[in-house]
Amino acid sequence: MGVAFRLPKCCTEKKGIKMSKFKELINGDQPVLVDFYADWCGPCKAQTPILSEVAKAVEGKAKIIKIDVDKNQAAAAQYGVQSIPTLLLFKNGEVVWRNVGVAQKPQLLQAITSNV
């Protein structure tokens, strides 16, 4: 996948994430920013380095994971993802912030820090 920041193993496996593991992650103690993307998506590729910078800035305060919509259609459908990239911020299992399209670093940091 070529992502510069560390992701949970479940999110980098070729077969995709299991819904049980996804639910475990989003229901954890820390906020979780989920990037719904596809390998063929140009804007998704532009989002990756921004997420890498954000991941460094929020390390220990929030988790960032990537979900490939082509391999995880159930998760994308469950959260109404119709365009990519779509970013969802979860806190205590609930979506507290949503963005469709490329989000810039200040916007992402604001969303995450206001929900830590």
List pLDDT tens digits, range 56-79.
999 999 999 999 999 989 889 999
For residue 49, give Cα distances in angstroms to 5, 54, 63, 77.
Answer: 9, 9, 16, 25
pLDDT at 6 over 70: no
Active site residue 41: yes
d(C-alpha 86, C-alpha 112), whole Å: 15
pLDDT at 49 over 90: yes
Active site residue 11: no
**Catalytic residue, candidates 41, 50, 102, 109:** 41
Q: Output the pLDDT for position 28.
A: 87
- Domains, the chain, ranges and CATH? 16-113 (3.40.30.10)
Continuous H helices in 31-104: 42-57, 73-78
The pTM of the full predicted model, rounded to 2 decimals, is 0.84
User: How confident is the model over 28-47, as pLDDT tens digits?
Assistant: 889 999 999 999 999 999 99
**Catalytic residue, candidates 44, 55, 67, 89:** 44
